[in-house]
Amino acid sequence: MPSLGAEMEKGTLVEWRVKPGDAVTRGQIVAVVETDKGTIEVEIFEDGVVDSLLVEPGTKVPVGTPLAIVRGKGEPAAAPTPAPTVAPEAGRTRASPLARKRAEALGLDLGRVKGTGTGGTITVADVEAAAGGASGAAGAGTGAEKGAEADRQAAMRRAIGAAMSRSKREIPHYYLASDIELSRMLAWLATHNAGVPVARRMLPAAPLLKAVALALMEVPELNGFFTDGAFRPSEVVHLGVAISLRQGGLVAPAIHDAGRRTVAELMDALRDLIARVRAGTIRSSELADPTVTVSSLGDQGVREVLGVIFPPQVALVGLGRIGERPWVVEGAVQARPVITATLSADHRVSDGHRGGRFLAALDRLLQEPEKL
Amino acid sequence: MSPEAIREQVFQALADVAPETDPASLDPDRPLRDQVDIDSFDYLNFIIGLSERLGVTVPETDYASIGTLTRLVEYLAQRTPR
């Protein structure tokens, strides 16, 4: 079970897309798992042949649990190891994972539930009995689907809350903001868009993301992971893009190696990602490995975004609304399109001086859009 | 194409990007984007959808003049073969 974000502890295997004996290649989607962030397509990281599947669909297992055995080409069949079920957490109330989830959904304190399972383990039935049967009513009849959706939203809200609490607890944030004049960039974009079919038009987000990725390559202290007490910079920029879900909540999947893609490729990648996020088909690698995140709230009219960093990342870039503002040009005030770009960064890794270099680089890059 | 038929196509293109929209609740003379929760990607997809349905390509420079449902339908009616 792959880790699809810092706060993920478990996932439910929903579906296998392969069977024993199938040949698989690196990057192929082999399974679908359900997490607090929604349904994720799991990719495989090596070539080989599926020897055996270790986890049945519908089973919830902890992160790190082997899901299947894959043989390299020419390797003999291995003896399968049984999949561990979720172990009881030491020093905590013993409860089955399902019971724990049900209790969370019901807002019930597990300490008050009497366990009737093996060794006093609390089962789902115990939780529902303790909740006075209210849950049975909620899950019954026509309300069942709505109840499941509400559960999913509540789970996602908790996952976001846990990640953001950890961020605010552990990361000493500092915040910087710069106003960037965009008339050159927008003129370049308008010219491009006037000359292509409507389906090939680009939005300002595409050149903005490209410039962010290039600026990050100039200031590597903002791109990577802080884990085990040390910063590990990333060679490439996997740009996490915060995308809101129609039904509430958000995910921030990655556009891989954004700095080396053309602006048009970034537009395609962004369009594809948004469509898949909304359809619920994100891939495991996209959720697991953004090295930095961009949050753009300009469509909501927000002027500046003072964001919370997603651990273990060390920076978040905020983009506000592009709007006409008074701008002084050679001593005279003119109306010019301006965006406020912000940086939230981790003081354990960088200082305001380096953060300022990033915003200055972003400004410089956006003044020469044809070079992006 | 009649304004009614165009309006129907507009609603269908809108439903593709914002399925939760109830066309009956839209005020035709208020800015559309104030009434429907769509972002710039959804709006671009809406414009692409109109182009596919009606064969009318709206240049970006005309976005400002098609802000309300009434104005959008008028705009499209002038450019759609009758």
Tens of pLDDT, residues A35-89: 766 678 888 888 889 988 999 888 888 888 889 888 886 666 554 444 444 433 3
Which residues, numbered 46 to 65 in chain B, qualify as contacts with chain A under a Cβ-Cβ cut-off of 8 Å? 47-48, 51, 57-61
Is A79 domain-assigned?
Answer: no
Q: Are residues A209 and A310 in the same domain?
A: yes
Q: Are residues A255 and A208 in the same domain?
A: yes
Q: Are residues A140 and A269 in the same domain?
A: no
Residue B73 pLDDT > 60: yes
Lowest mean pLDDT among A113-127, A242-256, A351-365: A113-127
Residue A203 pLDDT > 80: yes
Question: Can you give the residue range of the structural domain that contains B42?
Answer: 3-79
Q: How far is CA A148 from the centre of its chain?
A: 22
The reported pLDDT for the residue numbered A309 is 96
Number of domains in chain B: 1
More confident residue, A299 or A280: A299
Taking the C-alpha atoms of residue A160 and residue A12, their distance in angstroms, rounded to an integer, is 19
The reported pLDDT for the residue numbered A33 is 85
More confident residue, A148 or A226: A226
pTM metric for this prediction = 0.74
Residue A345 pLDDT > 50: yes
Is A289 domain-assigned?
Answer: yes
Is A90 domain-assigned?
Answer: no
The reported pLDDT for the residue numbered A205 is 96
User: What is the mean pLDDT of the segment spanning A302-326?
Assistant: 96
Chain B residues near residue A205 by CB distance under 8 angstroms: 40-41
Residue A117 pLDDT > 70: no
Contact across the interface for B60 and A194, Cβ inside 8 Å: yes
DSSP characters for A274-299? HHHHHHT-EEHHHHH--SEEEEE-GG
User: What is the mean pLDDT of the segment spanning A315-321?
Assistant: 97
Give the closest-approach CA distance of A196 to chain B in angstroms.
10
The reported pLDDT for the residue numbered A169 is 95
- Please report where in the chains the tokens 């004049």 appear, as a residue: A181
* Residue B38: CATH number of its domain: 1.10.1200.10
Q: Which two tokens stand for residue A132?
A: 């006075």
Per-residue pLDDT band for A248 (boundaries 50, 70, 90) equals confident
Per-residue pLDDT band for A105 (boundaries 50, 70, 90) equals low
Question: Per residue in B20-49, pLDDT tens?
Answer: 888 889 999 999 988 998 889 999 999 999
Average pLDDT of chain A to the nearest whole number: 85
Q: To which H or E segment does residue A42 belong?
A: strand A38-43
Question: Can you give the residue range of the structural domain that contains A298?
Answer: 172-371
The reported pLDDT for the residue numbered A146 is 73
Chain A residues within 8 Å of chain B (Cβ atoms): 190, 193-194, 197-199, 201, 203-205, 246, 270-271, 274, 298-299
* CB-count exposure of residue A8 (10 Å: 0-12, 13-18, 19+): buried
Is A148 domain-assigned?
Answer: yes
The reported pLDDT for the residue numbered A76 is 62
Per-residue pLDDT band for A133 (boundaries 50, 70, 90) equals very low
Q: Which two tokens stand for residue A196?
A: 């292509």
Interface test with A, best of B16, B17, B39 (most A CBs within 10 A): B39
**Pairs of CB atoms within 8 A across A/B:** 30
Can you give the three-state secondary structure of B36-54, one letter per residue? CCCCHHHHHHHHHHHHHHH
Q: Are residues A29 and A110 in the same domain?
A: no
Number of domains in chain A: 3
Give the closest-approach CA distance of A297 to chain B in angstroms.
9
The reported pLDDT for the residue numbered A61 is 87
Percent of chain A residues topping a pLDDT of 70: 82
Q: Are residues A185 and A234 in the same domain?
A: yes
* Residue A63: CATH number of its domain: 2.40.50.100
Contact across the interface for A203 and B60, Cβ inside 8 Å: no
User: What is the mean pLDDT of the segment spanning A128-157?
Assistant: 63
User: What is the mean pLDDT of the segment spanning A87-100?
Assistant: 55
Cβ(A90)–Cβ(A14) under 8 Å?
no
Per-residue pLDDT band for A118 (boundaries 50, 70, 90) equals low
Q: Are residues A271 and A359 in the same domain?
A: yes
* Residue A201: CATH number of its domain: 3.30.559.10
A295 has which bridge partners? A318
The reported pLDDT for the residue numbered B70 is 94
Task: Establish whether the linkage from the previous residue to A57 is cis, with ω within 30° of 0.
Answer: no
Q: Are residues A296 and A204 in the same domain?
A: yes
Can you give the three-state secondary structure of A295-335, one letter per residue? EECHHHCCCCCCCCCCCCECEEEEECCCEEEEEEECCEEEE
Q: Are residues A101 and A30 in the same domain?
A: no
Angle subtended by helix axes A205-218 and A352-366, to nearest 10: 140
Is A204 domain-assigned?
Answer: yes
Q: Are residues A301 and A186 in the same domain?
A: yes
The reported pLDDT for the residue numbered A276 is 87
Is A193 domain-assigned?
Answer: yes
B48, B59, B61: residue with CB nearest A199? B48
Q: Are residues A126 and A205 in the same domain?
A: no
| H helices, E strands: number in chain A | 9, 19
User: What is the mean pLDDT of the segment spanning A246-261?
Assistant: 88
Q: Are residues A138 and A24 in the same domain?
A: no
The reported pLDDT for the residue numbered A124 is 66
Contact across the interface for B41 and A190, Cβ inside 8 Å: no
Lowest mean pLDDT among A110-119, A190-199, A283-292: A110-119
- Amino acid, single-letter form, for residue A277: V
The reported pLDDT for the residue numbered B66 is 94
Lowest mean pLDDT among A97-101, A240-244, A351-355: A97-101
Residue A291 pLDDT > 90: yes
Q: How much of chain A is helix, strand and coil, in % rounded to 5?
A: 35, 25, 40
Q: Are residues A187 and A327 in the same domain?
A: yes
Is A3 domain-assigned?
Answer: no
- Name the nearest CA neighbour of A183 among A338, A360, A364: A338
